[in-house]
Structure 1
Amino acid sequence: MKLIADSGSTKTDWVCINADNSIQPVEAHTVGLNPFHMSDDEFRQVLVRDLLPQLGDVEITDVYFYGSGVRPEVEERVTGLLREAFPGAQTIEAHSDMLGAARALCGRTSGIACILGTGANSCVYDGCKIIHNTPALGYIIGDEGSGAVLGKHLIHDIYTGVLSQRVRNMFEQETKLKLSDIIDKVYRQPQPNRFLASFSEFIHRHLDDDGIREMVYSAFSDFVNLHLSRYGRPELPVSFVGSIAWYYQIQLSLVLQTLGYHVGTILKSPLEGLITYHQDS
């Protein structure tokens, strides 16, 4: 039986595929397994303590792990940790979340694959491997179009007066936050990127406001102009995975079409596409 994992920094979703390619009703969920932030012992404990009990006596023959932080230089390390948990597996692979997104969105055909969630990333995929990737750089100096950067723009535009007093009043009433609270969360508390990305819900609720809508269009235009245009492949379909792409797909599609790109598939989560990819393998 094949075991597929889609791992972010917050959570990991695991699903099993039977030998006849039917989906096993066993699903498992654990915390995120990011090798950049976790020691081997921490990673190992999640597998042994949290994952294996959920799988029960299911016999795993193949493991395909896709996760944030799985850069080429740590693939062997992650594969080794998975091998400890599944010593009887014939095949164990660990790959980046970007390759997972590309396989989920494009399958075995060429295309541009993008992640737009809390963070942002993109690549050119040739149907087998990633052949070009502009670095994401994180929300402080990159991640254009991501939830964290949308939230950053919202806070900036509210408190510098770019957005109207009406928007500021709505924001403070709905979030119950003051500027001092925001400064504390961003500069003194952990995971400010997730805090900023949480404001995407407010943004989405108020897309009827001209200023907010223009801010969203501008963020997505930055993503296209600073990342997709660097690939020089406007003939390829551009596909997306992630919560921001999913909930803002109308605005995102409009920006892409205006700038001369063809929109391919948009998925909220890569897991569905990864299941299809590995059922066909």
Structure 2
Amino acid sequence: MILIADSGSTKTDWWLADGGHVVRRAASQGINPFHQDGGVIYGIVGGELLPQLGDDEPRAVFFYGSGCSPEMAPVVVEALGRAFPHAAAIEAHGDLLGAARAVCGPEQGIACILGTGSNSCLYDGTSIKLNTPPLGYILGDEGSGAVLGRNFVNAMFKGGLSAGLSDSFIAESGLTMAEIVRRVYREPMANRFLASLSPFIHRHIADASLRRLVIDNFRSFFRRNVSAYGRADLPVGVVGSVGYYYSAELSEAAEAEGFRLGRVVRSPMEGLVAYHASQGR
């Protein structure tokens, strides 16, 4: 059996698989070696994960998560080694490689993450060859939920939305312009707040002005990130809730920019199980 993890800042999903079949699913709080040292990570795994696994003991552990740069991955590997002393192999990689393996498998492709933030890479079937720096929601992150929320707020208060839509949002959310400005400029995690506006946009996606906002956000993502790889011949796979829930608009934007979509999934876990099964590890 192998244990696969997909970790974000708030939650880690753990799937135990045997020959490509998932035999157990578990969850713990998020793990990020940029913010947590080895002792904290070991405490999370030992205190939250191991009780859920019971007597099941994986022969290999593959961890994918935000913050797992080549410099920080050894912190995770060491903590997992303490938790699983009998595992023959333990690896820790960034979430972008996890996305690439999930949507491209062992084939070449362009892999993207479209969630609260965005990222992309050119993948050769084994490793990441090129990566356009996302730069965060202030300087970049085109295609993300945070930038979509930012553009929505801009359009709402500068006359870029259909008549009545701004009033509907304010009535439904209770947020005023002053409150939104305070949340963005005075409170932490402004990117998450802006991304939290996406459900309203999705519920009203039939509105032409909102649909255009979404498509333009995705087109900007392709132009400023994906085009840099010069590989319009390759399929573009996407992981993340924003890409998944706006898949129709994403497909239209891809076609308009000369790309074709591959797999679009909300979570990379099923693809990662299939990838490791195909690799025999």
**Which bracket does the TM-score occupy, shorter chain normalised?**
over 0.9
Cross-structure match for 2:16: 16
- Show the counterpart of 2:270: 272
Deviation of 1:156 after TM superposition, in Å, equals: 1.2
1:116 Cα deviation (Å)? 0.4
Alignment deviations for residues 92-114 of structure 1 (CA, whole Å, 9 cap, x no partner): 00000000000000000000001
| TM-score, normalised with respect to structure 2 | 0.96
* 1:187-220 superposed Cα distances (whole Å, 9 cap, x missing partner): 2222211111011111111122222121111111
Partner residue of 1:118 out of 108, 116, 119:
116
* Structure 1 residue aligned with 2:55: 57
Counterpart residue type for residue 59 of structure 2: T
Q: List gaps (5 residues or longer) in structure 1.
A: none
Which range moved further: 226-235 or 201-210? 201-210
- In the other structure, the counterpart of 1:137 is 135
> Structure 2 vs 1, CA of residues 21 and 232 (structure 1 numbering), >3 Å: closer, same or farther?
closer
The corresponding residue for 2:72 is: 74
Q: For structure 1, which segment, 169-178 or 181-190, has the greater mean C-alpha deviation from structure 2 after superposition?
A: 181-190
Question: How far is the alpha carbon of 1:164 from its aligned partner?
Answer: 3.8
Tell me the distance in 1 between the aligned counterparts of 2:225 and 2:184: 26
Q: 1: distance between equivalents of 2:157 and 2:38?
A: 43
Distance 2:145 2:129 in 1: 26
C-alpha separation in 2, matches of 1:200 and 1:248: 10
Distance 1:40 1:141 in 2: 31
Gaps of 5+ in 2: none
Matched residue, 2:42: 44
* Greater alpha carbon shift after TM alignment, 223-232 vs 153-162: 153-162
- Name the amino acid aligned to 1:161: G
> 1:253 is paired with a residue of what secondary structure?
helix
- Following TM superposition, by how much is the alpha carbon of 1:165 offset from its aligned partner in structure 2, in angstroms? 4.5
State, as a whole percentage, how many aligned pairs show the same letter: 49
Deviations 1:77-103 (CA, angstroms, capped at 9, x unpaired):
211111111111100000000000000
Secondary structure of the corresponding residue to residue 13 of structure 1: strand
Deviation at 1:277, TM superposition (A): 0.7
Kindly provide the amino acid, as one letter, of the partner of residue 16 in structure 1: L
SS at match of 2:238: strand
Q: Secondary structure at the match of 2:4?
A: strand
Mapped contact 2:112–2:239 kept (Cα < 8 A): yes
Deviates further, 143-152 or 77-86: 77-86
Report the count of equivalent residues.
279
For the residues of structure 1 that align with 2:246 and 2:22, how far apart are their CA atoms?
30
Q: Structure 1 length as normaliser, TM-score?
A: 0.96
5-14 or 161-170: bigger deviation: 161-170
SS in 2 for 1:72: coil
Task: Report the equivalent of 2:100.
Answer: 102
State the Cα distance separating 1:52 from its structure 2 match.
1.0
Q: Which residue of 1 aligns with 2:2?
A: 2
Q: Detail structure 1 runs of 4+ shifted over 4 Å in the superposition.
A: none
Letter in 2 for 1:13: D
For residues 157 and 105 of structure 2, what CA distance do their matches in structure 1 show?
44
Residue 96 of structure 2 contacts residue 121 of structure 2 at CA under 8 Å; is this kept in 1? Answer: yes
